[in-house]
Structure 1
């Protein structure tokens, strides 16, 4: 490489690393409305749950129309994951991981349904339909009564059977991870 080429390369590298990111005029900052469209996560404590509500009866209809093709009637026997049953099997030689046996938070169920289901059209269910499907699945698993209803206030209060089943490894203890040195 000639000394001229080396000089051009060095100047180019210096310019690239010295120039601020906005100097390239690439893209633009997202608007608050655009951010809100993607800010849909729901935490275990319920923060982020949208308005709306749904009943077990409504959920049965929505599930039949949108979910039973993959998960089977009543959440069992479909081509995809089983959603019902399995309580008491996690410590066995053949654990059955379902909504009722494995999932630690009902809010996580809502979040997953809202983001990823139905498989062929993720995110297409309304908030009401999502609450209803969650209510239906929790009812099938004996966690919510057959006449149950869920909304942003009641969903975080649902105590899942495996809530205490997730024990963090000692090296991931938040008190140790974020300890000031």
Structure 2
């Protein structure tokens, strides 16, 4: 069952979540992972980033359904290709979350009646627009997550046989579980 979920999660990452992330950052759908890795994207909670910016990026990212969907997929996968996609999506979102946090902090620090910095305001506008594009992925990410979970549940339900007449336990059909020698069925998990 785990292999099936890992397959579903990898497919979900490749066909649904990565395209949403690429769309959010304005990259073409055919952008490959090597190109994303060449961007030297930050890691989640990168030590090179100031603590407050990491903390704020964490808050921003975990409010986005796409980031949470990637976290869910992460719990199922074990293939290197899937991990590369996960690192790329996290990196793109974290980069923009950190930039938004830093730009907002700078904008707040400089935004007073005695001092105004046009470049800081433009930086804030760019960061805000970039983050709004991530927010625009929310509905699609939630719908995609629901589809993924439905596929997993359907697969899990398909692994069970109906209850036998006269009672008895519901049993799971599985080639990788030890057989119950008395009934010939596998025990449910």
Q: Give the alignment's TM-score, normalised by structure 2.
A: 0.23
Of Structure 1 and Structure 2, which has the larger fraction of its residues in helix? 2
